Structure 1
Amino acid sequence: MSIKTMLSAVIAAVYMFPASTLLAQSDVKIIPIPVSDNIYMLSGQGGNIGLFLGEDGTFIIDDQFAPLTEKILAAIKSVGGDTPRFLINTHFHGDHTGGNENLGNAGTLIVSHDKVRERLVAGSYIKEFGMNSPPANKAALPVLTFSEDMHFYINNDSVNAVHVPSAHTDGDSIIYFKKANVVHAGDIFFNGFYPFIDAANGGSLRGTIAAVDAILAATDSKSKIIPGHGPLADKAQLQAYRDMLAIAYARLLKLKNDGVSVEDAIIHDPLSDLEAEWGNGIFSGEKWIRITYPAVF
């Protein structure tokens, strides 16, 4: 089985089965993947975690699911880190915020865009996957929020969290490490797969493309990009993803403007030439059209 096939199966499972079923598995491993001298990507079950180490403390981006917190902390300690001083959530989905309560209770300062806190306070339901999240407990909530961007001057780098509107959701943030030349893209970037666009919670395909364009404009051939899901990437891989999104958007927008229903759009099979490369993750082309069509505007 290829690495991409294995990643596809894991990513699909995270979205398509209840967390309680997945997290009953004891064989989940949290693997630290070096990105730069003091930045790692932690892969496991859920969104990729960004880990930044240094003399000012441990800084992480997203935290997967609550039952994995002990394993995540063990992985952090294995590369010289400690209980995180700061945690920033790239968006509100449970595979990126599930460990918030555990870390909040451990003293970690949680930061996010305003919309992330709002949605965690209210609770949410993602109908595409039947995922119901009740209102979060106080310890799981961000205690610092921002509307546009926030700077962290930590571990001899300038880390900038920038909100991008109406992308994967309405509360997404991109995290830029200026000195290290590293970006954590959150779920704006599914490396090698059709992405989930959460239209019910403010996401749009056009906004996702705009967010990807912002990352492309801020990176170069030496940049390392941590995607929300999938393997560590470079700018060329992000560009390929952007090209796919732009092609898909143009085709789906034309069908929608022509008054074509989602069922008839599927019959048109507008993604047939993209399927072999991009249709092996969470969604086949047919499923992706069905879910994404409302987000085409």
Structure 2
Amino acid sequence: MQRIIPLFILPLLFFANSLNAQRFDDVKIETIQVSDHVYMLIGAGGNIGVSIGDDGVFVIDDQFAPLTTKIETAIKALSNKQIKYLVNTHYHGDHTGGNVNMHKLGATIIAHDNVRHRLETTPKRDNTMHPKEALPIITFNDELNIHINGEKVAVFHAEHAHTDGDALLYFTESNVLHTGDTYFKGRYPYIDLESGGSVNGYINAVELGLASINENTKIIPGHGSLSNKTEYETFLNMLLTLKDAVLTEIKVGKTEDEVSKNDALTKTFDDLGYGSGFINSEKIRRTFYVSLKE
């Protein structure tokens, strides 16, 4: 069925889109070389992975639509080859917002089955639906191998972690892992319970990532600076410690509000700055309670 937008709404949408674009005017795309031909781009939203080589450009996530020109410029500084493939690590807009633009640049979009489903069924912030050009063309259920630029990139699904459609990608020769939002370096993670995420699944995703790497692996987290195995293990310890603490509170009959207000449960990690990101201490305690109580 064709969506009809009333005429009086159009100026409001135009104004909202203009404001949305303006908030990205001052964003700069920082390029960090991770290995011989793998790079990390930092801007606004999820961290982008880029592989360059004779086969073309392979990209992981694309942040927001207004940033595509800046992202393309950063990529062209690395390679004059075409952007051939784009993998979305999940469906959130700070990782898929540039999909339509990337499609226009020639990228074939790849993602987990559930990413396509959520993009097809979840309205954008302006309450319009994602166009066909934003949808992944190739989807997978469990795992996928992409052979590009002289190496195999292992793409594997983590069930019910950050969302229900998360993918981690491991560059087997470069020894680089891109975790998507199954890793927020030095911060409490956003676990999207309404989109199929869960505490136990999130922990399993981190353990899955750790099982794939070694001491020399460079890690591109969904958010935060370039990381390593030791920092990744510290992040897992935080998750396991908080899980045990909240489960103990649940077993003695504490309510969601009581747990969310109990600063002592997260104090050790609060003092290390974990609550300074998008998810503060109260939010993470509440998220853990709701997920573990089920």
TM-score, normalising length: structure 1 = 0.88
Match of 1:159? 153
Equivalent residues of 2:57, 2:79 under 8 A apart: no
Match of 1:175? 169
- Structure-1 separation of matches of 2:250 and 2:19: 37
- Cα deviations by residue, 1:200-252 (Å, 9 ceiling, x for unpaired): 11101111111111111111110001000000000001000000011011111
Pick the structure with greater CA Rg: 2
Q: Does 1:224 align with 2:218?
A: yes
- Cα deviations by residue, 1:9-48 (Å, 9 ceiling, x for unpaired): xxxxxxxxx9975641311001111100100000000000
SS at match of 1:222: coil
- Structure-2 separation of matches of 1:191 and 1:105: 32
SS at match of 2:188: coil
Match of 1:55? 54
Match of 2:101? 102
Runs of 4+ in structure 1 deviating by more than 3 angstroms, as ranges, are 18-23, 131-134
- Report 1:1-297 matches (<5 A): 21=19, 23-25=21-23, 26-124=25-123, 134-269=128-263, 270-277=265-272, 278-296=274-292
Equivalent residues of 1:196, 1:292 under 8 A apart: no
Equivalent residues of 1:122, 1:134 under 8 A apart: no
Closer, same or farther: CA 225–267 of 1 in aligned 2, 3 Å: same
- Structure-2 separation of matches of 1:275 and 1:253: 19
Equivalent residues of 2:46, 2:94 under 8 A apart: yes
**What displacement does 1:99 show?**
0.2
Amino acid across the alignment from 1:287: K
In structure 2, list runs of 5 or more residues that go unmatched: 1-15
Closer, same or farther: CA 158–166 of 1 in aligned 2, 3 Å: same
SS at match of 1:227: strand
- Structure-1 separation of matches of 2:98 and 2:195: 21
SS at match of 2:36: coil
TM-score, normalising length: structure 2 = 0.89
**What displacement does 1:261 show?**
1.6
> Quick one: percent identity of the two aligned structures?
42
Closer, same or farther: CA 79–136 of 1 in aligned 2, 3 Å: same
- Structure-1 separation of matches of 2:112 and 2:253: 36
Amino acid across the alignment from 2:234: A
Amino acid across the alignment from 1:289: R
Closer, same or farther: CA 230–161 of 1 in aligned 2, 3 Å: same
- Cα deviations by residue, 1:67-88 (Å, 9 ceiling, x for unpaired): 0000000000112254410000
- Structure-2 separation of matches of 1:235 and 1:19: 40
- Cα deviations by residue, 1:49-81 (Å, 9 ceiling, x for unpaired): 000001001000000000000000000011225
Match of 1:15? none
Closer, same or farther: CA 133–74 of 1 in aligned 2, 3 Å: farther
- Cα deviations by residue, 1:90-141 (Å, 9 ceiling, x for unpaired): 000000000001111222100000000000000158xxxxx57642100010
- Structure-1 separation of matches of 2:118 and 2:127: 10
Match of 1:128? none
**What displacement does 1:180 show?**
0.7
CA RMSD of aligned residues (A): 1.8
Match of 2:10? none
Equivalent residues of 2:246, 2:288 under 8 A apart: no
- Structure-2 separation of matches of 1:134 and 1:115: 19
Equivalent residues of 2:57, 2:84 under 8 A apart: yes
Equivalent residues of 1:197, 1:295 under 8 A apart: no
Amino acid across the alignment from 2:93: G
Closer, same or farther: CA 65–20 of 1 in aligned 2, 3 Å: farther
Count of matched residue positions in the alignment of Structure 1 and Structure 2 = 275
Equivalent residues of 1:91, 1:186 under 8 A apart: yes
Equivalent residues of 1:149, 1:162 under 8 A apart: yes
Closer, same or farther: CA 168–214 of 1 in aligned 2, 3 Å: same
